[in-house]
Every structure is written in structure tokens, then in C-alpha cells.
Amino acid sequence: MKRDSGLTLVELMVVISIIAIMSAVAIPNLISWLPNYRLNGAAREVLSAIELARLTAVRENASVAVTFTPGNAAYHLWVDNGEGGGGANDFTQNGTERTLRGGPMPPSIAMSSAVFGASSSFRFNGTGLPLRTDGSPGGGAVVLTNSKGKTLTVTLSSGGNARIQ
């Protein structure tokens, strides 16, 4: 008796049907999961930037400024030491002051607010403590929102510790 190897048309159609049903269930779940994934990633990015600023300030015993721009959903970190002209600790990147990191948030992530006293900027001094633009010590918070309306807040304590809430 001769045996043919391979799949019959009926077997092939059953396998294709199973794949189609599994895809119909999985793809909507994946699409709804993506905004939350981007929000978590953006919050970790902001937290990492704040920690980098503090680490650099302590390591180099320098002032490191951090500025958030909620309207553009962007942030910018630099060593605010007055190199190359301009003043130190003036919250303006002058001359050759070194950029540490910066950039926009991922697509569909809005920066709802960034409040550090009366400003959206702060700096770490050489001991790692955050100072507001008026020179007073204190922390603040950055609120990020995804396209589904879910929010995460990155808080900075007056002691310099940052965390995601």
C-alpha cells in the first residue's frame, strides 16, 4: 500500500482557522497593552534621567540642571557650571556646558505637568540635594499621561530620592 506524505486540504484549512482565531483574540489585547508599555517606559526614562543628574552632580561635585518642557513633552539635563561663558547655576545652558541627556517622550505620551516649586526646572548641587530655581531646597513631580488617560507620576523628594508612583 502506497502512502502519500503531506497535508490534505482539510487539515491545512483547520490549521489556518486556528491561527486566525488565535490572532483575532491576541491582537486587540496587544494593541491595548502598547500605550501602558510606552507610559511605563517613559516614566522609567524620566526616573533614569533624574538619577543620572544626581549621580553626576555628586561624582563631579558640580551643579546639574534638569529642565522639563511639558508643552513639548521633553526634558534636558546639563552640567550648569558656567564653562565657556555665562553664569553658573543660572538654568541656562551657556557656552560649552556639557549636555548629559535630553529628548522628547515617546509617541502618544504627554507630560501633563512638571512642578518643582514655581518652575519646571531644578538642579542638583554637589551633595546631591535638589534645589529649585529660587535656590530653596525641595523636590517636585513630573506627571506623564498616555493616550488611554492612564497617568504615572515621577516624584523627587527634598532629599533627592526619585521614584515612580
> What pLDDT shows up at residue 161?
95
CA geometry: angle 163, 110, 48, nearest 5 deg? 30
> What pLDDT shows up at residue 7?
78
Please name the residue ranges forming H helices in the chain. Answer: 9-60
Q: How far apart are CA 35 and CA 133, in angstroms?
A: 33
Report how far apart the first and last C-alpha atoms of the chain are (Å, whole number).
Answer: 70
How does pLDDT run along the chain (165 residues), one tens digit per residue? Answer: 566 677 788 988 999 999 998 888 888 777 778 889 999 999 999 999 999 999 999 999 999 999 999 989 999 999 998 887 777 888 888 878 999 999 999 889 999 999 999 999 999 999 999 999 999 999 999 999 999 999 999 999 999 999 999
| Number of residues that make up the chain | 165
Domain 9-164: top CATH class: alpha beta
> What pLDDT shows up at residue 27?
81
> What pLDDT shows up at residue 1?
56
> What pLDDT shows up at residue 2?
62
> What pLDDT shows up at residue 85?
77
> What pLDDT shows up at residue 91?
85
> What letter would DSSP give residue 98?
P
